[in-house]
């Protein structure tokens, strides 16, 4: 087992002894490699359930001098770091991709249908480019499981009047498609919900974080590597008997094995002084606390280079999360989003939209506060914020709510409102801008991305 040797020294001599060993490339912390003059570019996709009330969202003027409308008001502290894009469509002008479900499928894929083996979401395409060396190639987060957490009303799951001190540590994964946004090779990736377990996934294999026993971390990583070596040997034994199509299936599996090995190689070498902080206790009952804890995890994960790609669902697709507005309890989807002509309900939807944007503002403010060699973490990120539908009554997908935050490492000139709708441009076109920022130049994206938008840089 020659591959174990590096880690074995780490284990046997402790971290300090590593310095005395020959400095092999694999053992150099990520940050120390490549002169560390620039921080990497990161991507985050954010899902806002149930569309938006455009009258409270869309700025009235274009360009840099725009005033933030009421729903976007929480973004005041980061106004200069965002692009508000209005007029984008999901599938082209007048095209309805099938209400919530079709919109959810297209949200990050720009695809008219998720096709097995074919469809990838924008975050996954980026992760394939930049994520493979990190501890977690991409992170999928959400705050609303099946069996909805409800801060105020007992919905049969027992969460009544949830005070901020209460946590649920028994759950993590949401099983149905309405909790899934990221898509790889046509397979939807489930979100994780439990901040404690996400914390372990992100930082559990990193040494030098100050949160655990580095020798134990190194030993666990070495053992993981040994198990991967053993199953690679199994695969080699198998492959001698296989035909072409089976060999391709086995190669897919081995690609996955090698990706984990690559993550371990980097993770085991330490997080270069980053401090992920205290491990969370579980899923907080209170939704705002839940959302902010997830944002904290993303910021720390980006900072520690534990991942470079994340998606976040601030509620399920067709979210029924309950909100109290003016002493009345509203289900986001059932009561507030389908407001019809009821202005009281419309106001509730405005308040909920505002709450959602407030969570985005929280994330962006944290990111802006992190200094990096070349600007702030926010400068070196692209955060894409949108929904599955546009108008919550019509369930259409024209004039989608779109915010792009962060300068994308210099790709975008932020602090502007841009109307893009004249030519019926799509969010898939915008994804081509994102990919260009990450150094990928495909000619199309999904079914609807045909050419990058102009005027963003």
Partner 1 sequence: MIGKLAIGLVFIAAGCAAEIDGVPSTTGGGANGCGNTVQALRRLTQTEYDNTIRDLLGDTSQPATAFPADSRNLGFDNNLETLSTPPALVTGYEAAAETLIDKGWARDSSVSPTAWLRVCDPASAGRDCAQQIVGRFARKAWRRPVGDDEVKSLMTLVDTAAGQGDDLVTGTKLALRGVLLSPNFVFHTEVNAASSDHALASRLSYFLWSSMPDDDLINQADAGTLHQPDVLKSQVQRMLADPKAQALVDSFAGQWLYTLDMPQASPNPTLFPKVTPSLKQAMHDETSLFFKEFLRGDTSALALLNADFTYLNQELADYYGVPGVQGSAMQRVPLPAGSHRGGLLTQAGILMVTSFSERTSAVRRGQWVLNQLWCQAPPPPPPGIPPLPATPPPGATQRQLLENHAQDPKCSGCHESMDAVGFGLENFDAAGQWRTVDNGTTIDVAGALSGKSFDGALALEQVIKGSPSLPACLTSTVYAYAVGRSVDESDQAAIAALTQDFVANGATLSGLFAQVATSSAITQRCAAANAQ
Instruction: Tell me the two tokens of residue 178.
Output: 């309405």
Distance of CA 81 to the CA centre of its chain: 18
End-to-end CA distance of the chain: 51
Looking at the DSSP assignment, which residues form a beta bridge with residue 383?
Answer: 44, 405
The smaller minimum CB distance to partner 1, of residues 131 and 408, is found at 131
Shortest distance, CB of residue 69 to partner 1, whole angstroms? 25
The smaller minimum CB distance to partner 1, of residues 206 and 456, is found at 206
Helix, strand, or coil (residue 419) = strand
The smaller minimum CB distance to partner 1, of residues 8 and 281, is found at 8
The smaller minimum CB distance to partner 1, of residues 355 and 448, is found at 448
- Is 313:142 a contact under the CB 8 Å cutoff? yes
- Is 276:283 a contact under the CB 8 Å cutoff? no
Shortest distance, CB of residue 275 to partner 1, whole angstroms? 24
- Is 263:228 a contact under the CB 8 Å cutoff? no
The smaller minimum CB distance to partner 1, of residues 334 and 454, is found at 334
Task: List, in order, residues 6 or more apart from 23 with CB less than 8 Å away.
Answer: none
The smaller minimum CB distance to partner 1, of residues 7 and 380, is found at 7
Shortest distance, CB of residue 263 to partner 1, whole angstroms? 8
269 closest CA partner among 206, 193, 354: 206
Strand-pair category, 375-376 with 381-386: unpaired
Helix, strand, or coil (residue 289) = helix
Shortest distance, CB of residue 102 to partner 1, whole angstroms? 4
The smaller minimum CB distance to partner 1, of residues 113 and 411, is found at 113
Shortest distance, CB of residue 395 to partner 1, whole angstroms? 7
Strand-pair category, 42-47 with 381-386: parallel
Looking at the DSSP assignment, which residues form a beta bridge with residue 6?
Answer: none
196 closest CA partner among 290, 311, 305: 290
What's the CA gap between 110 and 89, in Å, rounded? 10
Strand-pair category, 381-386 with 402-405: antiparallel
Shortest distance, CB of residue 199 to partner 1, whole angstroms? 14
The smaller minimum CB distance to partner 1, of residues 257 and 440, is found at 257
Task: Measure the CA dihedral 365/359/397/114, to 10°.
Answer: 90
The tokens 């080699």 sit on which residue? Answer: 236
The smaller minimum CB distance to partner 1, of residues 310 and 437, is found at 310
Task: List, in order, residues 6 or more apart from 227 with CB less than 8 Å away.
Answer: none
Shortest distance, CB of residue 306 to partner 1, whole angstroms? 14
């Amino acid at each position: 087992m020659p591959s174990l040797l590096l880690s074995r020294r780490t284990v046997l001599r402790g971290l300090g002894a590593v310095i005395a060993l020959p400095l092999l490339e694999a053992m150099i912390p990520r940050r120390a490699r490549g002169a560390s003059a620039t921080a990497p570019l990161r991507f985050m996709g954010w899902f806002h359930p149930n569309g938006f009330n455009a009258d409270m969202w869309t700025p009235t003027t274009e360009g840099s001098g725009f005033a933030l409308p009421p729903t976007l008001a929480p973004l005041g502290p980061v106004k200069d770091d965002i692009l508000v894009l209005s007029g984008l469509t999901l599938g082209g002008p007048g095209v309805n991709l099938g209400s919530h479900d079709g919109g959810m499928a297209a949200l990050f894929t720009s695809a008219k249908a998720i096709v097995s083996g074919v469809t990838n979401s924008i975050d996954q395409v980026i992760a394939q480019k930049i994520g493979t060396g990190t501890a977690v190639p991409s992170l999928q987060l959400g705050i609303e499981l099946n069996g909805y957490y409800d801060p105020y009303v007992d919905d049969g799951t027992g969460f009544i009047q949830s005070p901020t001190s209460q946590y649920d540590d028994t759950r993590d994964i949401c099983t149905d498609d309405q909790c899934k946004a990221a898509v790889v090779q046509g397979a939807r990736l489930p979100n994780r919900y439990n901040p404690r377990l996400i914390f372990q996934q992100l930082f559990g294999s990193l040494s030098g974080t100050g949160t655990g026993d580095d020798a134990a971390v190194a030993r666990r990583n070495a053992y993981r590597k040994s198990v991967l070596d053993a199953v690679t040997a199994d695969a080699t034994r198998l492959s001698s008997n296989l035909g072409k199509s089976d060999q391709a299936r086995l190669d897919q599996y081995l690609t996955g094995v090698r990706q984990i090995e690559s993550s371990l190689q980097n993770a085991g070498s330490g997080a270069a002084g980053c401090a992920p902080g205290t491990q969370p206790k579980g899923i907080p009952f209170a939704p705002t606390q839940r959302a902010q804890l997830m944002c904290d995890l993303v910021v720390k994960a980006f900072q520690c280079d534990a991942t470079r790609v994340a998606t976040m669902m601030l509620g399920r697709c067709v979210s029924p999360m309950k909100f109290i507005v003016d002493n009345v309890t509203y289900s986001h989807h059932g009561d507030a989003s389908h407001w019809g002509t009821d202005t009281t309900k419309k106001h509730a939807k405005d308040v909920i939209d505002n709450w959602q944007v407030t969570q985005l503002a929280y994330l962006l403010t944290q990111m802006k506060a992190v200094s990096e060699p070349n600007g702030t973490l926010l400068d070196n990120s692209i955060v894409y914020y949108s929904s599955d539908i546009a108008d919550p009554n019509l369930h259409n997908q024209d004039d989608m709510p779109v915010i792009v935050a962060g300068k994308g490492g210099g790709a975008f000139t932020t602090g502007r409102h841009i109307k893009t709708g004249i030519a019926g441009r799509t969010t898939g076109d915008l994804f081509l801008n994102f990919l260009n920022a990450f150094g990928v130049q495909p000619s199309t994206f999904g079914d609807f991305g045909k050419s990058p938008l102009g005027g963003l840089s």
